[in-house]
Copies of this chain bind each other. A is one copy, B any other.
Amino acid sequence: ADAEFFKGIGTIPFKPDAGPTETLVYKHYNAKEVVRGKTMEEWLRFSVCFWHTFRGTGADPFGFPTLVRPWDDGSNTMENAKRRLRAGFEFFTKLGVKYWTFHDRDIAPEGETLAETNKNLDEITDLALELQKKTGVKLLWATCNLFAHPRYMNGAASNPDAHILAYAGAQVKKGLEIAKKLGAENFVFWGGREGYHTILNTNVLTELTNMANFFRMAADYKKKIGFTGTLLIEPKPKEPTKHQYDYDAMTVIGFLKHFKLENEFKLNIEPNHTTLAGHGYEHDIVMASAFGLLGSVDSNTGSPDLGWDTDQFPMDVKNATLVMKTIIEQNGLQPGGLNFDCKVRRESTALADMFISHIGAMDTFARGLRNAAKILEEGVMTKHVKKYIMDNGNPTACSGQQEHCEAMLNYYV
């Protein structure tokens, strides 16, 4: 029999009457419950990310690792990588989520050569495929890490050095192949180093054009190999660079349209990135959806008073309600989902914290789904907007009634 990594924690049950300290049960998320014609599971399509949850160490710019996992011996070996993956699938299963996501470099160690790295990926994805089949957990999306290795410090697709761009191309080629192999429903690009630190050493138009060419090649290769997942670009305004080219939803939409890529890509919106760009929590989700380009959501949150990406678990029911309202209005995110690109705080060192954090976020979104469904069911808020648009029959100042709308929303949250 397989080793058990999370001893003492079983499959998380639905227990709606649980008390406040019982944070290892679902009080609101009831996977098979039907809401507006779909199960909660179908609407929410929760996914666990491998990087934060199984590769996160708790290190930050001012501190060393704090998170010690019993299955991880800290080595860069294939054995360690496989143990981590098995622990991951035990976690996904006990939590009861149906999807996971990863970067290529999270799951398999980088080798001395690209060939060795790819061989490692082949071997690990064999195991991943086996575990997916065994558990029924599917791959929401894969992505390539084109930002952590020093070779990418000046960018990958926008790097001034053609050799590095070529290396990035080879990496994405392999990334798309393993995405296909694992049946990924999407493939994400996050351009962490595509941007600039100082305009003094940068030619922005050259770099943007190179990026567009890179994306075009990726889209071509996807078709060539018959990968059918959706390609997604994830906007972020800054960090690690001073300016990241994929600043926010509208910036990426402008980029896609300028370079005629809008039929090949959709957006993966992360609210913590949205708020760093100076917008309200739900803004980029609303905008991307309005333009028909909302593909998936990295459902996390930041602290509004902090200027960097904290990737916290989303615990605010009002925000979750507004997000789910938009998602229901576009009839779901499929083939996208709600991926928890979140990490436990580096002070949350217990194994149980891994569960508690995901459960808290899932319950928050379950409440958001129920609230949003009720809002749309009763229709009074939607009617209010329609009436506001249609009834204004004379050029005077008609009340916008923001507080009335806020009070109506508070009825539901």
Residue pair A204, B286 in contact (C-beta under 8 Å): yes
Q: Which of B153, B278, B402, B405 contacts A305 (CB 8 A)?
A: B278
A79 interface contact, C-beta 8 A? no
Q: Which residues of B contact A316 (CB under 8 A)?
A: 318
Q: Mark A273-285, 1 if CB is under 8 A from B, else 0.
A: 0011111101100
A375 to chain B, nearest CB (A): 8
Q: Mark A227-256, 1 if CB is under 8 A from B, else 0.
A: 000000000011110110001101101110
Segment from A85-93, A94-102, A349-357 that makes contact with B: A349-357
A118 interface contact, C-beta 8 A? no
- Known contacts A254-B254, A411-B27; is-contact A197 B305 (Cβ 8 Å): no
A79 to chain B, nearest CB (A): 22
Q: Which residues of B contact A162 (CB under 8 A)?
A: 392
Q: Which of A163, A198, A360, A394 has the most CB of B within 10 A?
A: A198
Residue pair A240, B63 in contact (C-beta under 8 Å): yes
In A359-413, which residues have CB < 8 Å from any B CB? 359-360, 363-364, 378, 380-381, 384-385, 388-389, 392-413
- Taken together as a complex, chains A and B put the C-alpha atoms of A33 and B166 apart, in Å, by 49
A78 interface contact, C-beta 8 A? no
Residue pair B257, A410 in contact (C-beta under 8 Å): no
A389 to chain B, nearest CB (A): 4
In A279-321, which residues have CB < 8 Å from any B CB? 279-280, 282-283, 286-287, 290-291, 303-309, 313, 315-318
A322 to chain B, nearest CB (A): 7
Q: Which residues of B contact A19 (CB under 8 A)?
A: 380, 411
- Known contacts A315-B406, A399-B350, A404-B356; is-contact A62 B160 (Cβ 8 Å): no
Segment from A36-44, A126-134, A142-150, A331-339 that makes contact with B: A142-150
> Copies of this chain, how many?
4
A258 interface contact, C-beta 8 A? yes
Q: Which residues of B contact A154 (CB under 8 A)?
A: 347, 397-398, 400
A8 interface contact, C-beta 8 A? no
Q: Which of B242, B313, B403, B410 contacts A403 (CB 8 A)?
A: B313
- Known contacts A250-B255, A305-B278, A347-B153; is-contact A360 B403 (Cβ 8 Å): yes
Q: Which residues of B contact A199 (CB under 8 A)?
A: 280, 282-283, 286, 322
**A interface, size bucket:** 35 or more
Q: Which residues of B contact A63 (CB under 8 A)?
A: 147-150, 152-153, 192-193, 240
A53 interface contact, C-beta 8 A? no
Q: Which residues of B contact A148 (CB under 8 A)?
A: 62-64
Residue pair A201, B402 in contact (C-beta under 8 Å): yes
A208 interface contact, C-beta 8 A? yes
A3 interface contact, C-beta 8 A? no
Residue pair B200, A405 in contact (C-beta under 8 Å): yes
- Known contacts A66-B153, A347-B153; is-contact A410 B197 (Cβ 8 Å): no
- Known contacts A199-B286, A399-B347, A400-B197; is-contact A408 B21 (Cβ 8 Å): yes
Residue pair A242, B306 in contact (C-beta under 8 Å): yes
A183 interface contact, C-beta 8 A? no
Q: Which residues of B contact A399 (CB under 8 A)?
A: 347-350, 353
Q: Which of B315, B322, B394, B408 contacts A23 (CB 8 A)?
A: B408
Residue pair B401, A201 in contact (C-beta under 8 Å): yes
In A151-178, which residues have CB < 8 Å from any B CB? 151-154, 159-164, 166-167
A205 interface contact, C-beta 8 A? yes
A37 to chain B, nearest CB (A): 22
- Taken together as a complex, chains A and B put the C-alpha atoms of A404 and B315 apart, in Å, by 11
Given contacts A21-B380, A242-B306, 4 further A-B contacts (CB under 8 A): A163-B392, A254-B255, A276-B278, A349-B400
A/B interface sample: 6 pairs, CB < 8 A: A61-B240, A62-B193, A238-B306, A258-B291, A280-B305, A315-B410
